[in-house]
């Protein structure tokens, strides 16, 4: 089978690395890919939402399956585009329909879905510029900390949490007046849930599902979870505080009603469901859904799956996920992101990266913001690499990851030295 992966980040490199191991694979293509994916398949210089060029490549390359990595193509309706074209219908597409993708594309839609299906979540109300005064009044009825969320896609940066009511009001005004563009034309003011955050990932064919290993990521750029929000600076899996009993509650109270909700609302959903959870006194509450794997959580979750991932995707496309017996590597996996200095604000690209070829059997290096330039691998993004380490415990896995990271260098590279600090 010829497979096309859409995307260019660490998530897509990880998926490419795993799929490339499958005996079912004939040729692998990645659009647009990065420097890391060049050794696994052929990179195609196509934008992730250029559906026409993606379709042309699928037909010319005889693609049998498309795996969509990031959220933007899903929210813009790539699944529906393929299903509406007779010449593309035969191609399996891993990712939900545009309606299903609204679970990530609209926080308001997502919250309403949870409430309709009795899925535990914090209380919230949605406001826009048109009812700004009502939003300000609603804020005054809430207790600190105040949580503001942009309704639309804001690259993981559309959430503001503050204990200062005046700062909350000012932030609310900035958001509805365009701080995050169209993404914050509507803003959710949400109840703050006090607990520990984690992510549980599900792969579903719309009726059957597989629960993948849980993970915890670290969003803040600074150590001790200080500083600006980022796309993620590191992750660990499994999560020590997520007991079997807690994960059973997640399955019963979150996963089953979510899949049931897809069926009741006739949402065509074949792909990943990312449940962003808060463990509140050992009870799961959903903070948000994403409709794809997280990044950098992919870099610790996917390597723990011992099955042939392409075979799993093939069964998913045929609505036969119930035939999969998931096999999981019981070791701990941790990943640390090496970012460009200045990220998530202004940073420089084009820095040569050294030390990439020093292999270690208990570590993996996944590329994100990289490209090949004059036969050299250089930086081309904020999050540049994710270094994943494995071990019998979290400390050992982190030691391996940091040792491998210490051999990689580029000018002004930055990483957090405290990933997993709150779990030790």
**Distance in angstroms (rounded) separating the CA atoms of residues 75 and 12:** 17
Nearest to 123 by CA among 341, 325, 286, 293: 286
- Asked if residues 30 and 15 have their Cβ atoms less than 8 Å apart, the reply is no
The pairing of strands 216-217 and 234-237 is: antiparallel
List domains and CATH numbers for the chain: 2-96 (3.40.50.20), 124-190 (3.30.1490.20)
DSSP character for 254? I
Residues in the chain: 424
CA torsion sign, 277 to 308 to 67 to 302?
positive
Q: What pLDDT, on a 0 to 100 scale, did the predictor assign at position 269?
A: 98
CA torsion sign, 105 to 31 to 382 to 420?
positive
**Distance in angstroms (rounded) separating the CA atoms of residues 53 and 224:** 44
- Which residues share a beta bridge with 32? 7
CA distances from 253 to 106, 249, 256, 419 (A): 22, 6, 7, 29
Q: What pLDDT, on a 0 to 100 scale, did the predictor assign at position 156?
A: 67
Q: What pLDDT, on a 0 to 100 scale, did the predictor assign at position 6?
A: 98
pTM over 0.85: yes
The pairing of strands 92-94 and 65-68 is: parallel
- Residue 247: both structure tokens together: 């994960």
Backbone dihedral region of 325: left (phi > 0), alpha (psi from -120 to 50 degrees) or beta? Answer: beta
Nearest to 105 by CA among 123, 84, 79, 85: 79
Backbone dihedral region of 115: left (phi > 0), alpha (psi from -120 to 50 degrees) or beta? Answer: alpha
**Distance in angstroms (rounded) separating the CA atoms of residues 355 and 424:** 29
**Distance in angstroms (rounded) separating the CA atoms of residues 181 and 167:** 20
| DSSP letter string, 315-330 | HHHTT-GGG----B--
**Distance in angstroms (rounded) separating the CA atoms of residues 401 and 396:** 9
Q: At what angle do helices 132-141 and 165-176 cross, to 10 degrees?
A: 150
Q: What pLDDT, on a 0 to 100 scale, did the predictor assign at position 123?
A: 87
Q: Which stretch of DSSP H or E encloses residue 373?
A: strand 370-373
- Asked if residues 176 and 149 have their Cβ atoms less than 8 Å apart, the reply is no
What are the pLDDT tens digits along the chain (424 aa)? 999 999 999 999 999 999 999 999 999 999 999 999 999 999 999 999 999 999 999 999 999 999 999 999 999 999 999 999 999 999 999 999 999 999 999 999 999 999 999 999 998 889 998 889 999 998 888 889 999 989 888 876 788 888 999 999 999 998 988 888 888 899 999 989 899 999 999 999 999 999 999 999 999 999 999 998 899 999 999 999 899 999 999 999 999 999 999 999 999 999 999 999 999 999 999 999 999 999 999 999 999 999 999 999 999 999 999 999 999 999 999 999 999 999 999 999 999 999 998 777 899 999 999 999 999 999 999 999 999 999 999 999 999 999 999 999 999 999 999 999 988 7
Q: How many helices (H) and strands (E) does the chain have?
A: 13, 23
* Residue written as token pair 């590329």: 367
Output phi, psi for 148, to 5 deg.
Answer: -115, 130
- Residue 190: both structure tokens together: 């949400």
- Asked if residues 162 and 172 have their Cβ atoms less than 8 Å apart, the reply is no
- Asked if residues 408 and 339 have their Cβ atoms less than 8 Å apart, the reply is no
| DSSP letter string, 91-132 | SEEES--HHHHHHHH-HHHHHHHHHHTT--B--EEEEEGGGH
Q: What pLDDT, on a 0 to 100 scale, did the predictor assign at position 154?
A: 80
Nearest to 354 by CA among 296, 286, 405, 293: 405
CA torsion sign, 237 to 400 to 6 to 49?
positive
- Asked if residues 210 and 227 have their Cβ atoms less than 8 Å apart, the reply is no
């Amino acid at each position: 089978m010829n497979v096309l992966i859409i995307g260019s980040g660490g998530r897509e490199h990880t998926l490419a690395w795993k799929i490339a191991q499958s005996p079912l694979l004939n040729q692998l293509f990645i659009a647009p890919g990065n420097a890391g994916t060049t050794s696994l398949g052929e990179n195609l210089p196509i934008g992730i939402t250029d559906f026409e060029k993606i379709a042309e490549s699928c037909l010319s390359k005889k693609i049998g399956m498309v795996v969509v990595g990031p959220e933007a193509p899903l929210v813009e309706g790539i699944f529906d585009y393929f299903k509406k074209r007779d010449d593309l219908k035969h191609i399996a597409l891993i990712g939900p329909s545009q309606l299903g993708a609204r679970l990530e594309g609209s926080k308001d839609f997502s919250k309403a879905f949870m409430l309709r299906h009795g899925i535990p979540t914090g209380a919230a109300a949605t406001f826009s510029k048109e009812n700004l005064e009502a939003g300000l009044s609603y804020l005054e009825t809430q207790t600190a900390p105040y949580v503001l969320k942009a309704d639309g896609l804001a690259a993981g940066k559309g959430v503001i949490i503050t204990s200062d009511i005046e700062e909350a009001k000012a932030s609310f005004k900035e958001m509805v007046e365009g701080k995050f563009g169209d993404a914050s034309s509507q803003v959710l003011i949400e109840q703050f849930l006090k607990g520990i955050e984690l992510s549980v990932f599900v792969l579903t064919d719309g009726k059957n599902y597989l629960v993948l290993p849980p993970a915890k990521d670290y969003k803040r750029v600074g150590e001790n979870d200080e500083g600006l929000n980022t796309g993620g600076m590191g992750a660990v899996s499994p999560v020590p505080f997520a007991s079997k009993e807690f994960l059973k509650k997640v399955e019963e109270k979150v996963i089953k009603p979510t899949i049931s909700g897809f069926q009741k609302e006739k949402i065509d959903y074949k792909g990943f469901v990312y449940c962003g959870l808060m463990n509140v006194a050992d009870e799961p509450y959903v903070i948000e859904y994403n409709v794809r794997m997280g990044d950098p959580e992919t870099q610790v979750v996917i390597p723990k799956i011992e099955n042939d991932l392409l075979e799993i995707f093939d069964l998913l496309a045929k609505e036969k996920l119930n035939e999969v017996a998931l096999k999981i590597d019981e070791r701990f996996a941790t990943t640390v992101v090496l970012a460009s200095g200045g990220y998530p604000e202004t940073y420089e690209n084009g820095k040569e990266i050294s030390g990439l070829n020093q292999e270690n059997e208990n570590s993996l290096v996944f590329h994100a913001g990289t490209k090949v330039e004059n036969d050299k691998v250089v930086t081309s993004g904020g999050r540049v690499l994710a270094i994943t380490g494995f071990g019998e415990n979290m400390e050992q896995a982190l030691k391996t990851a940091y040792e491998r990271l210490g051999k990689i260098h580029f000018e002004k590279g930055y990483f957090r030295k405290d990933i997993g600090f709150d779990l030790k």
